Amino acid sequence: WVTEAVNYRDFNNDPEKHLSFEKGDRVMILEDTDGDGVSDSSKVFVQDEDLVAPLGIAVVGNKIFVSCAPNLFVYTDEDGDDRPDKKEVFLEGFGGFDHDHSLHALIVGPDGKYYFNTGNAGPHHVVDKSGWELRSGSVYTGGTPYNDKNEPAQVSDDGRIWVGGLALRINPDGTDLKVMGHNFRNSYEVALDSYGNMWQNDNDDQVVTCRVTWIMEGGNAGYFNSNGKRTWQGDQRPGQDIFTAHWHQDDPGVMPAGDNTGAGSPTGVVVYEGDAFGPEYQGMLLSADAGRNVIFAYQPTKKGAGFDLQRNDLITSVQESTEGYVWNETDDDKRKWFRPSDVAVGTDGAIYIADWYDPVVGGHQMMDSVGYGRIYRLTPKGKQLKSPKLDLSTTDGQIKALLNPAINVRALGFEKLAAQGKTVVEEVQKILETDNPYHKARAIWLLSQLGDRGGEIVENILKNEPDPRLRTVAYRALKNYEDFIIRFASIAADDPSADVRREVALSLRDIPWEQSKNVLKKLFEGYDGEDPWYLEALGIALDGKEEKAYAEWISDQPKDPAEWSDKFASLVWRLHPKTAVTELKKRA
């Protein structure tokens, strides 16, 4: 399934000089019917005047979600004839009409909820199906003639200020819209692995500071200042390097920025969890960069409560370094026209790469006059991969779908099994006996939604599972039992894994001080004084509780602020409560 962007930024690209569709852009279905690895069938699913260079597509059963600001559309094919029978607006109100910095693709997470990104071309005023409203913006305008107004420091219905580009989550019925991360520039996509980790890349202001990183729930990525009123250029300190300034890395309340990939135009991301390529590829984070003609590959490794990302090239069309990439420089070297705009995983375990194929990328420009694009299929040498036939009418078929490497396909298995409830607990529990940790993680998410017995199994995993990754999944799943959050938090607050304790902290953000203070104190005691991810998790946990925490915990410190422990001093820096100003001046 492919979204086309033929009518791409006609304000910058004369439609008389390139392929143009008067009836709007299209969603296409390409198929390899004989299994030779080459598409031999092409059909138009829909052509719609409302589709103006859509930036994302998700196929979830018979529902096709297409991201095209200001709307997230859903087309439903009720009779299976590869034509939509119904078109609805799932969400509306996103900024960035006909803009690259706008609404991007939706995916289904391992918890069965929908996740998606939008760029910083706000303002975004979005109301979910339950009436909750997101209000987000910044000082950013421009890029298109339509993006002439924006507004920083807006307050959403949760009482918080969300800034710039956003990662969002919503229930399949359109309720409970939630901000999962914010203050991006233009992150093209959010990728989730089966553990529930969120990953992204992000573009920069053409100053060699693009990045790839893990997103901590509720985290601030630091592109603007905290309320969106100032740019990084306005906040850059004397002597501060550009990468540090660009992502406000010396400011309290900002996540670590991850891997600095330099110049580029990062686009789609995915985590590969199939086994077709062997164990060295399993769990690999793939990040497409259209500017650099490359798919970057990472095997994330643990570092404190976060991750370390060491970059390699999975696929590139050039042998020489592209680190000197300048977005608007073009030449006749067609190797550099490989512009990967997305990377995905098929039901067969193959990796699929969408190629924009153009001499230029970025700046809302293109030079391709004929509307040419390519899709590559990457398979292990010597292996013939085949898509399995999945029968979603049986429990066995649903479990096979759940274990499939294609993200939105395994979501169908999850949905069907969850609908069966406690009757499938035993079958799902058997997955925990397999060797594949990603399959085990998917089973944990599902068990948490299969009634009391399923919840008991997940709680036992939280208490006794030796693998900290699975204990982390167990806590993430159990925190959805909001009435029992303090009980689960108390169990996990002294877990030996910083990851588990981090998740406990993040889950306590909206829990009042009197209910959470004992667990929060225990979490602070587990801080090593150095880990920036753990410190930021504590800061998020103490949002709105800064003054109370400072007033209680300072009693454990020497009266002279200069003699405070390093970990307490760094926490006070992160929280910066007003009542600490005098003590901080003394330390300075």
- Walk along the chain (588 residues) and give the pLDDT tens digit of each residue: 999 999 999 999 999 999 999 999 999 999 999 888 899 999 999 999 999 999 999 999 999 999 999 999 999 999 999 999 999 999 999 999 999 999 999 999 999 999 999 999 999 999 999 999 999 999 999 999 999 999 999 999 999 999 999 999 999 999 999 999 999 999 999 999 999 999 999 999 989 999 999 999 999 999 999 999 999 999 999 999 999 999 999 999 999 999 999 999 999 999 999 999 999 999 999 999 999 999 999 999 999 999 999 999 999 999 998 888 998 888 889 999 999 999 999 999 999 999 999 999 988 989 999 999 999 999 999 999 999 999 999 999 999 999 999 999 999 999 999 999 999 999 999 999 999 999 999 999 999 999 999 999 999 999 999 999 999 999 999 999 989 999 999 999 999 999 999 999 999 999 999 999 999 999 999 999 999 999 999 999 999 999 999 999 999 999 999 999 999 999 999 999 999 999 999 998
pTM, full prediction: 0.98
Are residues 195 and 304 part of one domain?
A: yes
- Report cis status (omega within 30 of 0) of the bond before 123: yes
Are residues 463 and 361 part of one domain?
A: no
Are residues 355 and 258 part of one domain?
A: yes
Which of 345, 378, 411 is the C-terminal boundary of a domain?
A: 378
What count of other Cβ atoms lies within 10 Å of the Cβ of residue 326? 10
Q: Long-range contacts of range 45-48, CB-CB < 8 Å, 24 or more positions apart? A: 45/1, 45/75, 45/77, 45/82, 45/83, 45/84, 46/75, 46/83, 46/84, 46/87, 47/21, 47/23, 48/23, 48/24, 48/73, 48/87
Are residues 365 and 285 part of one domain?
A: yes
Q: Which two tokens stand for residue 167?
A: 């990662």
Residue 11 lies in a domain: yes
Are residues 453 and 521 part of one domain?
A: no
User: Cα–Cα distance between 93 and 453 in angstroms, integer?
Assistant: 41
Residue 388 lies in a domain: no
Are residues 572 and 442 part of one domain?
A: no
Are residues 401 and 545 part of one domain?
A: no
Residue 487 lies in a domain: no
Are residues 232 and 173 part of one domain?
A: yes
Q: What size, in residues, is the chain?
A: 588
CA distances from 57 to 153, 389, 435 (A): 30, 23, 32
Sign of CA dihedral 477, 479, 482, 488: positive
Residue 199 lies in a domain: yes
Residue range of the domain that includes 543? 493-588
| Whether the Cβ atoms of residue 183 and residue 218 lie closer than 8 Å to each other | no
Nearest to 96 by CA among 147, 164, 25: 147
Total tally of structural domains belonging to the chain: 3
Residue 135 lies in a domain: yes
Are residues 55 and 180 part of one domain?
A: yes
What count of other Cβ atoms lies within 10 Å of the Cβ of residue 508? 28
| Whether the Cβ atoms of residue 225 and residue 248 lie closer than 8 Å to each other | yes
Are residues 462 and 498 part of one domain?
A: no
Are residues 289 and 411 part of one domain?
A: no
User: Cα–Cα distance between 482 and 19 in angstroms, integer?
Assistant: 53
Residue 253 lies in a domain: yes
Residue 565 lies in a domain: yes
Which of 355, 378, 401 is the C-terminal boundary of a domain?
A: 378
Q: What is the CATH number of the domain that holds 438?
A: 1.25.10
pLDDT tens-digit readout, 411-437:
999 999 999 999 999 999 999 999 999
Q: Which two tokens stand for residue 567?
A: 């970990």
Residue 207 lies in a domain: yes
Are residues 442 and 300 part of one domain?
A: no
Q: Which two tokens stand for residue 99?
A: 């803009």
The residues, ordered by sequence, that sit 6+ positions from 7 with a Cβ below 8 Å of its Cβ are: 15, 20, 21, 24, 25, 52, 53
Which of 378, 407, 430 is the C-terminal boundary of a domain?
A: 378
User: Cα–Cα distance between 48 and 88 in angstroms, integer?
Assistant: 13
